[in-house]
Amino acid sequence: MWSYALRRILSTIPTILVVITVCYLMLHLTPGGPFDSERKVSAAVLANLQAKYHLDMPLWKQYLYYLNNLLHGDLGASFRYADWSVNDLVARALPVSLSIGGISMIISIVIGVALGIVAALKQNSLVDYFVMLLGNVGSAFPSFVIGPVLILVFAIWVKWFPAGGWDEFSPKYMILPIVLLTFINVSTIGRVMRGSLIEVMNTNFIRTARAKGLPLRTIVMRHAIRPALLPVVSVLGPLAISSITAAIVTETVFSLPGIGKLIVNGAGNRDYTLVLGLVVLVTVLAVVLNLLVDLAYAILDPKIRY
Amino acid sequence: MKLSMKLIAGAVALGFAAMSGAAVVPAGVKLAAKQELIRNNGSEPESLDPALAESVGANNIARDLFEGLTANDAAGKIVPGVAESWKQTDPTTWVFKLRKNAMWSNGTPVTADDFVYGWQRFLDPKTASPYASTYGIFILNGLAITEGKKQPSELGIKAIDKYTLEVKTEGPVGFMADLVSNTQLGPVNKAAIEKFGKDWTKPGNLVGNGAYVLKDWQVNSKLVLEKNPKYWDAKAVVLNKVTYLPVEDGNTDVKLFQSGENDWVYQLPPGTYDQLKTEFPKDIRNAPMLGLRYYSFNNTDPLMKDIRVRKALSMVIDRDILASKVTADGQVPAYGVVVKGTAGADVTAYDWAKWPMAKRVAEAKKLLAQAGVKPGTKIKFSYNTSEYHKKMAIFAASEWKTKLGLDTEMENMEFKVLLKKRHDGDFQIARNGWVADYNDVTTFLTLVQCDSDQNDNKNCNKKGDELIKQASTTLDPVKRKTLMTQAAKVIMDDYPMLPLLQYTVPRLVKSYVGGYTKTNSMDRFRDKDLYIIQH
């Protein structure tokens, strides 16, 4: 398994290179540059700015310069946030996004799986309808609708939590964003778990277990849950990655200083280095998450061995 | 030259140490025990280095952390900063007397050398300040230094002694006191910059000379300032702590205000002014500022190069309806490049502005017919994606359609794309806007002057340019004003662009925030002028 993991990690290097190259070219092809602003800078000032940020070199040279820095772990200087390096910015924003995303992911798995099991076992009962309704609402309403509603109710009407902002991982600022992300994730996980467990419960081996007279609790916990979790695990990878992209909206709604905010500002401001740095980061995260998902398969399904 | 000495005497602007600009708390106002303000700044500052500050938000913070020779008070007046007094000793020389009690936040005195260093560094190509040419153009050799043709040491600034500063300008600069209130033209602490290098603006490293010091800075989250006990006027500073928020989303901003986590909404979301005015009658604030919303005509475009077409398009837009019904947030109709309140020129307007609309339309139709433009002709309008700009654009397009029969193709795009198209002249009509950098007519005239970097219309009126040149070398402020006004009129009679509205700043500021005024037309509120009323 370890050699498999190592091979997988090594095989991502070309992927990351391709992503960087494509992204690099796309950024430079996009009209408008980092120094275009309402007040047009004079030719002399533009030349000074470009020299400062090495944009006066030919594109291929800039690219190699960037790659060289990247190999040394340096993501470069930010254009938009002139006082900070991209490393600084990512180091400060990543823990914010990871804590919100990570905590919400764990809660979502626990609640989603539990709800899914209950709904599957009590198919067409009130509980089941509730889970399905929750699932549909969570999928149908975008986070930029649910988020402001949460703020209206819990920050403006009852004033339990602040409407937004961030203060050194203080829980009161984290709760509403976590609730929002959890709500969306639970709906997906719950639905998948429900469907998958219903299917498993109708398979031959479960019928055999029932015929042997095992109690339902044992059947579910010992025999059904592991195969039923496989599809859930499959969606966790994409779900975790979409939590990062969803952060673009949640972080705007709650004014959080996370990765999503940097992506939006970086792209809008043509902050080449910042955007590239974040793309590298998200690519690496995606690769790692997918690897974890694949490794989890081996634990859940004895047929899968690497 | 005989006249000049007398004129100089008239143009001398004197500042008095007694006239300090700090918070003036009216008698009878009870101050709150807790003097803390949370103020949204609209975006994350791009830098706290005053030489690199470009956005409104970054400059707001820079004015709290640093102080130039002069400053804006809350009412919008120029008041002494580090300089106690100043005078124009000859047409191109200004002498500033610095106060002896001005200190850096580390306790060392602020001297004339700090200004010399600050200005030279600001214009040094290595600093690459985005404002270098905007302000450098006025200072002797400033532009040449930015272009790398001269050394920073050749800049027209000299420390006569520890507390006397002499500034040489390229031509007469009557609005010098206004210009030097910008913190780009302020002092910076050489020792701190050399010690910390790129990190000199971080909390703990930053040494400033403003009323506040940097306590904490969390990117995209908040920036906290605390009262600077070493500031020369510290006893008049009331607010102890100021938190700047970088919230860009207007709706989030208002929600933070409603839930009590923000005292100051940067800008209201489009279309909410009336509703919020009813909901928060005590907190709503709105005042005109020195800024212009306009549309650029591409004067090199085959259709737009005909003045009759440009005139017709401008005439039929009903600015009154645009201001009262479309944007509906108190903005003021504009018919010239210079907005009300600008020093150094009068507002110009077109004669037809007073005509009834029917007559304007008839005239415009005639002009189009003369130009050979038939109803059904297509025109193309470009704007950057925003609800606000969209509303205005739809209104303009409907005016052109219903009154002139022209079909407008509306093209919305990302801001940076629009900027690129506008700067490259790759458009027919484009949304545009401008906010004054300093209170003088020249900041607006750059929008329509021949070959100006800011002239997106690519128009050129030789006579107007000649008048501006004449005015710029004139010492008599009255004559200068007449010439500048004439220039603005002559150029605008070419219809290079379509002025629409003068900006106002509709925002919510808690009623207990004292010191906020309606006359601060540059929208520059230093926190030293504000205070919290007991509530």
Residue B13: pLDDT above 80?
no
CA distances from B63 to A192, B72, B204, B225 (A): 56, 9, 18, 12
- Burial of A213: CB neighbours in 10 Å, binned 0-12, 13-18, 19+: exposed
- Mean of the pLDDT values across residues A200-211? 90
CB contact under 8 A, B261 and A164: yes
Q: Which of A51-65, B291-305, B319-333, B460-474 is predicted least confidently?
A: A51-65
- pLDDT range class, residue B241, cuts 50, 70, 90: very high
- pLDDT range class, residue A223, cuts 50, 70, 90: confident
Looking from the CA of B480 toward its CB, the CA atoms found within 13 Å total 18
Residue A171: pLDDT above 70?
yes
Determine the distance in angstroms separating the CA of A167 from the nearest CA of chain B, rounded to an integer: 8
B147 CB neighbours in chain A (<8 A) are 44
- Mean of the pLDDT values across residues B458-480? 95
CB contact under 8 A, A162 and B259: yes
B417 CB neighbours in chain A (<8 A) are 30-32
Residue B4: pLDDT above 50?
no
Nearest CA in chain B to A154: B259
Q: Which one of A129-138, A176-185, B122-131 scores highest in mean pLDDT?
A: B122-131
- pLDDT range class, residue B1, cuts 50, 70, 90: very low
- pLDDT range class, residue B265, cuts 50, 70, 90: very high
Which of B219, B248, B293 to probe by mutation at the A interface, max A CB count within 10 Å?
B219
A167 CB neighbours in chain B (<8 A) are 221-222
Residue A62: pLDDT above 50?
yes
Q: What is the ipTM of this complex?
A: 0.86
A1/B317: higher pLDDT: B317
Determine the distance in angstroms separating the CA of B83 from the nearest CA of chain A, rounded to an integer: 29
CB contact under 8 A, A92 and B219: yes
Question: Over pLDDT 70: what percentage of chain A?
Answer: 99
CB contact under 8 A, A31 and B133: no
Nearest to A48 among B128, B202, B453 (CB): B128
CB contact under 8 A, B255 and A155: yes
CB contact under 8 A, B245 and A81: no
- Angle (nearest 5°) at CA B440 between B439 and B445: 125
Determine the distance in angstroms separating the CA of A273 from the nearest CA of chain B, rounded to an integer: 15
CB contact under 8 A, A165 and B134: no
B52 CB neighbours in chain A (<8 A) are 82-83
A86 CB neighbours in chain B (<8 A) are none
Residue B3: pLDDT above 80?
no
Nearest CA in chain B to A29: B417
A84 CB neighbours in chain B (<8 A) are 219
* DSSP alpha helix (H) spans, B176-249: 176-179, 190-196
Over residues B152-182, the pLDDT tens digits come to 999 999 999 999 999 999 999 999 999 999 9
Over residues A254-291, the pLDDT tens digits come to 888 998 889 888 988 889 999 999 988 888 888 888 88
A236 φ, ψ (degrees, to nearest 5): -65, -40
Q: Which one of A297-306, B6-15, B396-405 scores highest in mean pLDDT?
A: B396-405
C-alpha span between B335 and B123 (Å, rounded): 36
Per-residue confidence (pLDDT) for residue A184, from 0 to 100:
86
Q: What is the DSSP letter of B185?
A: G
Over residues B280-305, the pLDDT tens digits come to 999 999 999 999 999 999 999 999 99
Average pLDDT, chain B: 93
Determine the distance in angstroms separating the CA of B488 from the nearest CA of chain A, rounded to an integer: 20
Token output for B313: 């398009």
Largest CA distance in chain B: 72
Which of A79, A83, A160 to probe by mutation at the B interface, max B CB count within 10 Å?
A83
Which of A27, A35, A36 to probe by mutation at the B interface, max B CB count within 10 Å?
A36
Over residues B366-402, the pLDDT tens digits come to 999 999 999 999 999 999 988 899 999 999 999 999 9
Nearest to B453 among A40, A156, A258 (CB): A40
Q: Is the dihedral angle over the CA atoms B264, B268, B273, B279 positive or is it negative?
A: negative
Per-residue confidence (pLDDT) for residue B14, from 0 to 100:
41
Q: Is the dihedral angle over the CA atoms B404, B406, B411, B417 positive or is it negative?
A: negative
Q: Residue A133, Cβ neighbours under 10 Å: how many? A: 11
CB contact under 8 A, A257 and B218: yes
Nearest to B130 among A41, A51, A254 (CB): A41
Nearest to B146 among A33, A44, A256 (CB): A44
Residue A246: pLDDT above 80?
no
Question: Which residues lie below 8 Å from residue B233, measured CB to CB, with a gap of 6+?
Answer: B20, B21, B22, B211, B528
CA distances from B29 to B207, B293, B512 (A): 34, 38, 10
Over residues B492-532, the pLDDT tens digits come to 999 999 999 999 999 999 999 999 999 999 999 999 999 99
CB contact under 8 A, A36 and B420: yes
Residue B219: pLDDT above 50?
yes
Nearest CA in chain A to B251: A253
Per-residue confidence (pLDDT) for residue A86, from 0 to 100:
94
- Mean of the pLDDT values across residues B80-85? 96
Determine the distance in angstroms separating the CA of A38 from the nearest CA of chain B, rounded to an integer: 7
Helix (H) / strand (E) element for B366: namely helix B357-371
Residues comprising chain A, all counted: 306
Pairing of strands B93-98, B164-168: antiparallel
Determine the distance in angstroms separating the CA of A20 from the nearest CA of chain B, rounded to an integer: 22
Question: Which residues lie below 8 Å from residue B350, measured CB to CB, with a gap of 6+?
Answer: B314, B315, B335, B336, B492
Per-residue confidence (pLDDT) for residue A237, from 0 to 100:
84
Token output for A82: 């002139």
- Mark B307-345 as b/e (b = at least 16 C-beta within 10 Å): bbbbbbbbbbbbbeebbeebbbbbbebbbbbbbebbbbb
* DSSP alpha helix (H) spans, chain A: 2-29, 43-52, 59-71, 86-121, 126-140, 143-151, 171-201, 204-211, 216-218, 225-253, 259-268, 272-300
Per-residue confidence (pLDDT) for residue B22, from 0 to 100:
64
Nearest CA in chain A to B137: A42
CB contact under 8 A, B125 and A48: yes
Determine the distance in angstroms separating the CA of B74 from the nearest CA of chain A, rounded to an integer: 25
B202 CB neighbours in chain A (<8 A) are 83
β-sheet bridge partners, residue B40: B245
Determine the distance in angstroms separating the CA of A177 from the nearest CA of chain B, rounded to an integer: 13
Which of A28, A46, A84 to probe by mutation at the B interface, max B CB count within 10 Å?
A84
B11/B115: higher pLDDT: B115
